[in-house]
Amino acid sequence: MARLERLIRLGVERGAFRVPDPALAAAAVAGMVTFPLILFHSGRIADPGLRDRLVAEMLDAAMGYLSAGRG
């Protein structure tokens, strides 16, 4: 989690991300992108194609969250 937090902090410093708390943002992003894998490995999503589409959606959502308010 510390590496992700550092990456997010660097993104904030460079103006690519806009989040008030990089540590909290790292936890939120980690949860977003791992949730589809948890569902897949627990058997709640049986189709690997659906898992992959959900991962892609969550990555897009995470990037949107990190960059919210830019522009």
From residue 49, give the alpha-carbon distance in Å to each of 15, 30, 66. 34, 21, 26
Asked whether 58 and 35 are in contact (CB, 8 A), the reply is yes
Its pTM stands at 0.82
What's the pLDDT at 68? 79
Question: What tens digit of pLDDT does each residue of 4-51 get?
Answer: 999 999 999 999 999 999 999 999 999 999 999 999 999 999 999 999
Q: Which residue has the tokens 């830019």?
A: 70
